[in-house]
Amino acid sequence: MKISTFMLLLTVMLLALSHVSAIAEDNAREQQVKKTYIIHMDKSEMPASFEDDRFEWYDSSLKSVSDSADMFYAYKTIFHGFATRLTAEEAGLLEKQLGILSVLPERRYELHTTRTPEFLGLEKSEALLPATDKASDLIVGLVDTGVWPEIKSYDDTGLAAVPSGWKGVCEEGTNFNSSSCNRKLIGARFFSKGYEAEFGPIDVKTESKSPRDDDGHGTHTSSTAAGSAVSGASLFGYASGTARGMAPQARVATYKACWLGGCFGSDIIAAMEKAIEDGVNVLSLSIGGPLTDYYKDTVAIGAFSAVAQGILVSCSAGNGGPEVGSLSNVAPWITTVGAGTLDRDFPAFVSLGSAKKFRGISLYRGTSLPSGLLPLVYARDASNSSSGELCAPESLIPAKVAGKIVLCDRGGPPRVQKSLVVKQAGGLGMILANTDDYGEELVADAYLLPTAAVGAIAGAAIKTYIASDSNPTATIALGDTELGVQPSPVVASFSSRGPNPVTPEILKPDLIAPGVNILAGWTGAVGPTGLNEDKRRVNFNIISGTSMSCPHVSGLAALVKAARPEWSPAAIKSALMTTSYTAYKTGEPIIDVATGNPATPFDYGAGHVDPVAALDPGLVYDNVVEDYFSFLCALNYSSSQIKLTTHKDFTCDTSKKYSLGDFNYPSFAVPLETSSGKGGGTGASTTVKYTRTLTNVGIPGTYEVSISSQAPSVKISVEPQSLTFSQAYEKKTYTVTFVAGSSPSGTNSFAQLAWSDGKHTVGSPIAFSWK
């Protein structure tokens, strides 16, 4: 018995040692795996011997830790440094060297995937827009998936010569040559070295190693921002009319840094650097990644350099809504854009055998369903999968769905892929039902068989009917484009929400713009669903996402810049924000479709963009580079962290008190601590003071302040209560004092501060949050 016990213990010990040895071997192998790192160098530490060639300094530093590593990008504009592949051990050794500011692992970013001009009031207000020749001097650069140059959105008819200061090129590559560009599409480059370092050489049979767009996303965003007017545009007859970008006379430059496998930080930085050097006026990025400190954030670092050189940077807020704190791109020098709806719909109708009818949405065009009612089945009851209701590939049993309409739940696989799954299994039609997670938000898609997407309430009712009837039946009827849908806009459920997880004192998103069911140009490489099985080809497509709302603001910023070329990026951003609206013409507040309740500044920021009003805001909250330094000092950034973020040497003044509340932002976010008493305390109060400075960009006048508050536990006072401006670009400062009582953790309250001279209203949202 003792020998048996000993042998058992010995066996356990040997197994444990074997497991430890295996882990050690795995760790050793992991240490030898090469990964991409972005290296930031401190030029002030560069030895004098390398003064004539900083790239030799980069290479010398790299070769000191790895004989085999090569630089595949060398950076000089956004920061001094390079991108390379290193083992973890090599990266650690490099980071310890003199002159190395940081060695950052590369981060992967993802895409945040024409009724619009009329909806925004541009069509009826042409007299307010800048002269055509001024608008045509503006260049909108987009870091995205490239461009499909043959579509009419890049027609250069009527455009003058390319602006004289333009330094960009039309880079040749697979299925793309210099003649692909013209006076509209004036620049096209591609950046693939980081992508290829991760996945190996691009297979040109499946992906174009050139600026050509194989995905559609980049063509859609660029034509939304600055596409030429194209009459007769539509998707299968839906949304028929004239499609035009927000700034149809502006020029387009595309920087392809996003590929079928994603967007990599080293490529993004290289693309942003070239865009700055080429001379773009606005830079648009409909991409996002995990949040981190600004000095580690590729997009934030690149955006700072752009803004410091007078380039407005617009980014998508992300599609993580309605989850709280789901934002991307939250740096205060970035204009962060959420998504709202248009007043346009594409109705589809479901009729049940019980005579009940439900309204949904669809962009299907093709063979209609047979006349009369058809058998109806819930996918969960016709599947070999435990999650069969999601209609994942190969999850449906053909014998149970053939000749029937199949109800699938939203979630999991892409919406359009579900229609392919149903079709391949022999189904004739599909009802796509929202679950509670998606509520009543309806997003239109170009399905591959007759389909109606319905909200959660309708979906639940249809499931109840299927469960209660021994022979459930249904049919689907498709409608035409419907305009004038109210209420509109509403905040899209998918649009990412605040508060800002990185800096709670900065309210994000900044504003919302149209991002649901947007018609714009499309690639010829794939069909409107993007599925390989979709052989249809279109010139225009209708898709949704904050990816679509971002280029709306990018194009509108170009219009404002054309009208007011002397304005800084911060002034343009302020004009767009302070003139945004938060209520319908009826006076009722904008609705959040995720809840059906009034939306808040955590959903829409300053509100929905109003480009006509933005051309004449009266006053703006302006910032210069030094203001951003003070902001970073208020975050207690070290000198090296500031240099990593800004590419500039700056040391915070230890005798000066820096405050996030003094950063001159057009909105207010006031995070408050909950008292420790029961329910968050009752008697405790906190006093917080924020300071702001307004610049007059209109005529002389006196502005009076007003406060409207939904926060009864916060007393708000402003000093002074009036500001008189006697000349253009005069500046006046005011202070807001918040005296806040305690509230339970997780409580949010909101208010609005507005300055008005009777003609202009300069509005700023205020968000309070207790933790």
Please report the DSSP string for 314-366 in residue order. EEE--S-TTSTT------TTSEEEEEE--SEE-EEEEEETTS-EEEEE----S
Cα distance between residue 517 and residue 768, in whole Å: 33
| Residue 144 among the catalytic residues | yes
Q: Given the residues 40, 80, 112, 217, select the one marked as catalytic.
A: 217
Cα distance between residue 696 and residue 373, in whole Å: 65
DSSP-derived 3-state class of residue 28: helix
Instruction: Give the 3-state DSSP-derived string for 127-171, with helices as H, strands as E and coil as C.
Output: HHCCCHHHHCCCEEEEEECCECCCCHHHCCCCCCCCCCCCCCCEC
Between the CA of residue 240 and those of 235, 481, 516, 517, 518, what are the distances in Å?
7, 8, 16, 13, 12
**Which single residue is written with the structure tokens 């995905």?**
215
Cα distance between residue 113 and residue 99, in whole Å: 40
Q: Given the residues 208, 547, 568, 743, select the one marked as catalytic.
A: 547
707 Rama class: left (phi>0) / alpha (psi -120 to 50) / beta: beta
Contact 663, 626 (CB under 8 A): no
Between the CA of residue 400 and those of 381, 410, 440, 474, what are the distances in Å?
8, 20, 29, 16
DSSP 8-class letter at 124: G
Between the CA of residue 115 and those of 492, 547, 554, 706, what are the distances in Å?
17, 17, 17, 35
288: CB partners within 8 A, 6+ apart: 109, 110, 112, 299, 315, 316, 317, 318, 328, 329
| Residue 284 among the catalytic residues | no
How far is C-alpha 308 from the chain's CA centre? 21
Cα distance between residue 469 and residue 483, in whole Å: 36
Please report the DSSP string for 256-286 in residue order. E-EETTEEEHHHHHHHHHHHHHHT-SEEEE-
In terms of DSSP bridges, do strands 748-756 and 701-709 run parallel, antiparallel, or are they unpaired?
A: antiparallel
Q: Given the residues 144, 214, 510, 662, select the one marked as catalytic.
A: 144
605 Rama class: left (phi>0) / alpha (psi -120 to 50) / beta: left
- On the 0-12 / 13-18 / 19+ scale of CB atoms within 10 A, 272 is buried
525: CB partners within 8 A, 6+ apart: 148, 208, 212, 213, 214, 215, 216
Between the CA of residue 21 and those of 26, 27, 29, 321, 686, what are the distances in Å?
9, 10, 12, 45, 57
Which residues carry out catalysis?
144, 217, 547
